[in-house]
Amino acid sequence: MGDPELRSDEKVLIRTQGVYVKSIPFEGILTNKRIILIDRAKNLLPPKEIPLVTIKEAEAGENAIRDQIITLSVMAKTGETRQMILTFSRQA
């Protein structure tokens, strides 16, 4: 699976391996427009996209085993706010 297509006004700011969502590993790509999560390990899941404009709140912290986390409050298409926790494993 290659890189996702970027829009004409979009650029990659940073990318990293070892971003986990619900224990599933992804490569995380932050652009100036969205967060893209790509399943590079198994290539089974389609890429997940989080447009930056839908992020209402972001809180940094760490979990019980001291991995760094970011808890995002994201506005869903239904209008409700959902939480998504991105975990950055120290072992990755």
Judged against a pLDDT cut of 60, whether residue 92 lies above it is answered with no
Residue 6 has pLDDT above 60, yes or no: yes
Q: Is the pLDDT of residue 26 over 90?
A: yes
Map tokens 């760490």 to a residue: 62
* Contacts by 25-30, CB closer than 8 A, 24 or more apart: 25/89, 25/92, 28/86, 29/3, 29/4
What's the Cα-to-Cα distance from 21 to each of 7, 10, 26, 43, 54, rounded to whole Å?
25, 24, 8, 15, 18
pLDDT value of position 35: 97
- For the segment 29-73, what is each residue's pLDDT rounded down to a tens digit? 999 999 999 998 888 899 999 999 999 999 999 999 999 999 999
In the predicted model, is pLDDT for residue 2 greater than 70? no
* Mean pLDDT confidence for 3-27: 92
